[in-house]
Amino acid sequence: MTEFNNFIDGRFVAGRGDAFANHFPTTGEVIGQIRAADRDQVDAAVGAARAALKGPWGKMSTPDRMGLLRKLADAITARFDDFLAAEIRDTGKPRSIASHIDIPRGAANFGVFADQVAVLGTECFDQPTPDGAGALNYAIRTPRGVIAVICPWNLPLLLMTWKVAPALACGNTVVVKPSEETPATATLLGEVMNDVGIPPGVYNVIHGRGPGCAGEFLTSHPDVDGITFTGETRTGEAIMRAAASGVRPVSLELGGKNPGIIFDDADFDATMEGIGRACFANTGQVCLGTERIYVQRGIFDRVAEGLAQQARGYRLGDPFDDATTMGPVISAGHREKVLSYYDKARAAGADILAGGGTPEMQGYEGGYWVQPTVWTGLAEDAAVVTDEIFGPCTHLQPFDSEDEAVALANNSPYGLATSIWTTNLARAHRVAAQVEVGISWVNCWFLRDLRTAFGGAKSSGIGREGGIHSMEFYSELRNVCVKL
Ligand code: NAD
């Protein structure tokens, strides 16, 4: 059984907070124990991060720092199989997904943001003055300081390094609080940090739950200079309240209830492939996933049946078997939540085109399984259509006009992403600009260029990360005005 310890100042230390079990979602068996950090240990982690800022890390030249981050990317790749096994055991996600997305992209984040910092400029203004001599203004980019990184469980390594990589590239130090469901890859990264020679205190990991525990101890710590968070909107509200004390900046990547919009001129096969992934990839546990789909009436039945067929075609099972295409959900608690929505859909009179319950899983009876599910026929104000479920399920609704589709898509407090399917170029641009989201995909889904702005509108977040936008959050500009 693996013991997940905290990583503070370059050393692994057993937590003095509460201890709790880590489960393998495929079978439900206990595979590890998490020893949460208590308040003093969180304080020690923040202290180590502060000291590292003043130590060799703070004094390191930018090319040397970028060199270390590139070595880090290579070192993660060199231990690919260890990271892969750790991620699969924490999440139950199939190897086919984790080996193509989670681990390679987790490693790549360090190279991408090292490249970004290498070409980063600042601004400069030549200012006239009454004496005719003028003044020169130029900006210096400085790290923010100690950054608290609070992560969810759905793409643990990928989403954690999406924040840690730009933070370190900008010269900050970090204290990471991984999800209590997925402690493994953040812990393993501590070993790799030591192996490549990242100075102690630059990267710290504290384990534990959120409210009243390690998460809250960290976000309310007065010596944290900025907080970056990915998770539920409700948690984002609590974190924003914590950040108000001391006026610390926050970057919030939150929940969604993302609409897909399919017009009757769409390329049918490409649409079905893309929208199917958007609904079911990672067992529907992707913040950008599509849980409500609006389909132009003429092709509604064909799309609904096509999606139901896809849902029925998933192979649920052992994540280490390459034939497996869908894993369980993350935990018993999350399965209960997803199934409560399956019950609500049935009670509200939904037409259940596929799934709708729990599958028979011989040999994996203790796992957290739910069936991939497709509904139609619910009102737009049904809980299943308004709430983020975060499971492998979606609801389809017909529409007649473009304006109606946009209005339906925008009828949500969330605004993370949309995917629009049409071969009409003018319509694609028109609709993409009108849906109130941070990311509009046209004829694709989850196609990510890491230089682009990533984040949510409305209740789906505050701020943007990715490319220069990450640099803006993880560094601060100091203007220097020189009278000539
Ligand atoms: P969550 O909000 O329950 O937990 C996220 C993290 O916050 C965990 O580490 C948790 O321990 C911590 N936490 C909880 N309460 C806290 C508190 N009061 N103070 C400090 N820390 C606290 O989210 P989750 O269930 O782990 O993840 C699923 C959610 O994440 C979904 O809503 C999904 O849409 C969202 N998500 C968003 C994005 C995005 O980029 N917008 C990406 C992935 C996931």
- Stretch 282-300: mean pLDDT, rounded? 98
> Quick one: which atom of ligand 1 is closest to the CA of 233?
32
- Stretch 3-32: mean pLDDT, rounded? 97
Residue 482 in this model has a pLDDT that exceeds 90 = yes
Q: What are phi and psi of 156, to 5 degrees?
A: -60, -55
Are 340 and 373 a contacting pair, CB within 8 Å? no
Catalytic residues: 253
- Tell whether ligand 1 has an atom less than 6 A from the beta carbon of residue 156: no
Pick from 256, 253, 255, 270: which is nearest to 420 by CA?
A: 270
Residue 294 in this model has a pLDDT that exceeds 90 = yes
419 vs 440: CA distance, rounded Å: 6
User: Which residue puts its alpha carbon closest to atom 18 of ligand 1?
Assistant: 211
pLDDT band at 1 (very low <50, low <70, confident <90, very high): confident
**SS3 state of residue 51:** helix
- Tell whether ligand 1 has an atom less than 6 A from the beta carbon of residue 391: no
307 vs 257: CA distance, rounded Å: 18
**What would the two tokens of residue 142 be?**
């400085």
445 vs 276: CA distance, rounded Å: 10
Q: Which of 42, 235, 237 to mutate to test the pocket of ligand 1 (most atoms within 8 A of CB)?
A: 235
Residue 386 in this model has a pLDDT that exceeds 90 = yes
Q: What DSSP element (H or E) covers 13?
A: strand 11-13
Pick from 341, 102, 144, 333: which is nearest to 251 by CA?
A: 144
The residue type at 228: T
User: Of all residues in the chain, what percent carry a pLDDT higher than 90?
Assistant: 100
> Quick one: which atom of ligand 1 is closest to the CA of 153?
26
How far does residue 132's CA lie from ligand 1's centre (Å)? 56
How far does residue 235's CA lie from ligand 1's centre (Å)? 6
The pLDDT tens digits for 72-103 are: 999 999 999 999 999 999 999 999 999 999 99
Q: What DSSP element (H or E) covers 305?
A: helix 300-313
- Tell whether ligand 1 has an atom less than 6 A from the beta carbon of residue 239: yes
Pick from 450, 479, 483: which is nearest to 159 by CA?
A: 450
How far does residue 386's CA lie from ligand 1's centre (Å)? 19
Query: What percent helix, strand, coil does the chain show, rounded to 5?
Result: 40, 25, 35
Residue 356 in this model has a pLDDT that exceeds 90 = yes
Which domains does the chain show, CATH number per domain?
Answer: 2-254+460-483 (3.40.605.10), 258-442 (3.40.309.10)
pLDDT score for 353: 98
- Tell whether ligand 1 has an atom less than 6 A from the beta carbon of residue 291: no
The set of residues, in sequence order, having a beta carbon less than 8 Å from that of 386 and lying 6+ positions away, is 257, 380, 412
- Stretch 173-202: mean pLDDT, rounded? 98
pLDDT band at 138 (very low <50, low <70, confident <90, very high): very high
- Tell whether ligand 1 has an atom less than 6 A from the beta carbon of residue 219: yes
How far does residue 35's CA lie from ligand 1's centre (Å)? 20
User: Of all residues in the chain, what percent carry a pLDDT higher than 70?
Assistant: 100
DSSP state of 99: I
Pick from 160, 191, 195, 147: which is nearest to 12 by CA?
A: 191
Question: What's the chain's average pLDDT?
Answer: 98
Give me the interface pTM, i.e. the ipTM: 0.97
- Tell whether ligand 1 has an atom less than 6 A from the beta carbon of residue 208: no
Helices within 119-257 (DSSP H only): 156-169, 184-196, 214-219, 233-244
